[in-house]
Amino acid sequence: MKKTQLLALLLATVFVPLAAHAQQKPVDPAGHQWWQHAVFYEIYPRSFADSNNNGIGDLNGIAQHLDYLKQLGVDAIWITPCFPSPQVDFGYDVSDYEAIDPMYGTLADFDHLVAGGKKHNIRVILDFVVNHTSDQHKWFIDSKSSRTSEHRDWYIWRDGKGPNQLPNNWLSTFGSPAWTLDPKTNQYYYHYFYPEQPDLNWRNPAVEKAMLDVTRFWYKRGVAGFRLDAVDTLYEDPNLTDNLPLPGTDKFGRPNQDEKYNKKLPEVHDAMRKLRTVANEYGSVLIGETWTANVAQLKDYYGAKNDELQMPMDLMMTGFKGLSANEYRAHIGEVNSSGQWPVWVITNHDIVRSYTRYADGAHNDDIAKLMGALYLTLRGSAIMYYGEEIGMENNIPKSRDEVQDPIGKIGWPIEKGRDGERTPMQWTDGVNAGFSTAKPWLPVPASAKTHNVETEAKDPDSILNFYRQLLALRHKEPTLLEGDYFAINEDDPNVFAYLRRYKDEAIMVVLNMSATQQKVQFNLAPAGFSAPKLSLLLTNAHAPVAAASDGLTMQPFAVFIAKVTK
């Protein structure tokens, strides 16, 4: 080998990987990346702000509220799909991955939003629907056109087992069989979601390439990363083995089944690694919609070599029933000792809002503050859902006729759909909560009169002001970003308490998860503080709080956050 060739080879092996990570600059001496310090804010674009007053939110509406988001303390927004779509699943049925749905604006509006975000130091994350397209996507239209079309193998087509028989017993999670017959070519196509959302065939290298190219398209436009939709449904068993039945029926009345052959196949991790390689080229972050039954499963999504998702969402807490100090303590302890960077989520556009899930009728706002204090003071990244910061509640449709989300129509009255958690952002106590002058696509609940940005901004005790203080603390106190997690008072079944320890100090978070007053005593010596001094940073208490020699009195659902020094 010539000297120059050798030099070129050396340069390629040494400098390519370095260049690939060039934009992943740590933001602190601990080597953390920006997303590890960030608070992400999920925006459902139909419902956030309607700049052209047609009843549906849009990108310019988001851009007009960047000041609000900055003041709140948000570092990045994740916008659920805003690409052209027939809107069967409100954007999760994409018909063109490289454009903006005219309902939401134009590519120029998108660029304007990204530029505005840059000025506000707010990054933009898009939602990438990796598992399926719309049946109106040009790839599927071609795929369907004949058995020999160029894109035939971009989707999953199979013959029925026999006349009028489906290829196997798999079910769509949205209430139908997972197979739909196309009469023209007399084959079935597979769809884990609605029939209008055919699954892509990720085993076809052309599909994989096209999808990776989509991410490049948006990275080049300044997108800071993606939330990857439904990743565990990317691959299916090519032999179409039937799933085994499980006891009981689902919310659509169908026998349950163990989705062993059409979910969480090991190949998912290959796809995650490939998406990550491209993300690394642009210094971008990948967030996963990762539904897992336990922490070990969640750990898998980071990749054996930390080469898959930087931020697989921990969605497990969204399934906790009620508030139990023991349950949260056990889960959070386990996540922290798993060695990965946690990603905390308590609600989103598919889940009943946390305000409604936890409300007890007597302490609703205090509970909303307590939940905020929980996931925003833990070690890890946090993902908020729009409206959590003002205590928005679910507005569940009263009748089937009102329902917009198709699963609510199919599954009524057991499954009422997801409209309830997707209602317009409540900006004021005025008409349509200030979201739009036109009739909004979903109705605003009566509670918008009290729980809205304008009203709460004026009330120092509001949920909004609590969130603002909480996020300000997160930005101001390095301990909340860098500190370790150290559980204290571990045998208390009512009060969940922990320290975040950093250098010589700590921040103590005490959360009374019960509806009764609790007296709490602390022994912080095992945590390294034998004579601790406490100074209050934030509380939701309605009267002044002080730690007395006999302990701290915590009112029902009280939050006490204090600095601990030696």
Note whether 350 binds ligand NOJ by CB under 6 A: yes
> What is the per-residue binding string for ligand NOJ in 289-308, x denoting contact by CB under 6 A?
x-------------------
User: Minimum distance between the CB of residue 449 and ligand NOJ, rounded to whole angstroms?
Assistant: 29
Single residue of 50, 109, 196, 229 touching ligand NOJ by CB under 6 A? 229
Based on CB atoms, which residue is closest to ligand NOJ, 9 or 293?
Answer: 293
Q: Give dist(CA 263, CA 240) in Å, integer.
A: 12
Contact 385, 317 (CB under 8 A): no
Least separation in angstroms between residue 407's CB and ligand NOJ is: 8
Q: Give 519's strand partners.
A: 553
Annotation marks residue 454 as catalytic: no
Q: What is 403-455 written as a DSSP string?
A: --SHHHHHHTTT---SGGGSPPP---SSGGGGS-SSPPSSPPPGGGGTSSHHH
What part of residues 67-106 is at the interface with ligand NOJ (CB under 6 A)?
89, 92
Closest distance to ligand NOJ from the beta carbon of 307 (Å): 24
Is-contact 449 439, C-beta < 8 A?
Answer: no
- 269: buried, middle or exposed (CB in 10 Å: 19+, 13-18, 0-12)? buried
- The active-site residue, picked from 89, 229, 415, 482, is 229
Q: Is 226 in the site for ligand NOJ (CB under 6 A)?
A: no
**Residue found by looking up tokens 């795929």 in the block:** 143
Look at residues 484, 383, 377 and name the one whose alpha carbon lies nearest to residue 74. 383
The reply to whether 193 sits near ligand NOJ by the rule CB under 6 A is: yes
Rounded Cα gap, residues 434 and 456, in angstroms: 14
Alpha carbon 554 to its chain centroid, in Å, reads 31
Give the whole-angstrom CA distance, residue 140 versus residue 477: 51
Binding flag, residue 259, ligand NOJ (CB under 6 A): no
User: Minimum Å distance from CB 350 to ligand NOJ?
Assistant: 5
- Of 96, 267, 281, 350, which is the active-site residue? 281
Closest separation between CB of residue 129 and ligand NOJ, Å?
5
How buried is residue 88: exposed, middle or buried, by Cβ count under 10 Å (0-12/13-18/19+)? middle
Reduce the secondary structure of 11-52 to three states and give it as a string.
HHHHHHHHHHCCCCCCCCCCCCCHHHHCEEEEECHHHHCCCC
Instruction: Choose between 34 and 128: whose C-beta lies nearer to ligand NOJ.
Output: 128
**Residue nearest ligand NOJ (C-beta atom):** 92
> How many residues in the shown chain lie near ligand NOJ by CB under 6 A?
9
At closest approach, how far in Å is the CB of 52 from ligand NOJ?
A: 24
98 flagged as catalytic: no
Minimum CB distance to ligand NOJ smaller for 229 or for 492: 229
**In the range 119-138, which residues lie near ligand NOJ by CB under 6 A?**
129
In the complex with ligand NOJ, the residue whose CB is nearer, 229 or 415, is 229
* Minimum distance of ligand NOJ from residue 335's CB (angstroms): 22
200 binds ligand NOJ (CB under 6 A): no
Q: For 546, what's the count of Cα atoms within 13 Å in the CB-facing half-sphere?
A: 3
Cross-strand partners of 554:
518
Among 59, 94, 230, 298, binds ligand NOJ (CB under 6 A): 230
Query: Which residues are identified as catalytic?
Result: 229, 281
Q: Which residues bind ligand NOJ (CB under 6 A)?
A: 89, 92, 129, 193, 229-230, 289, 349-350
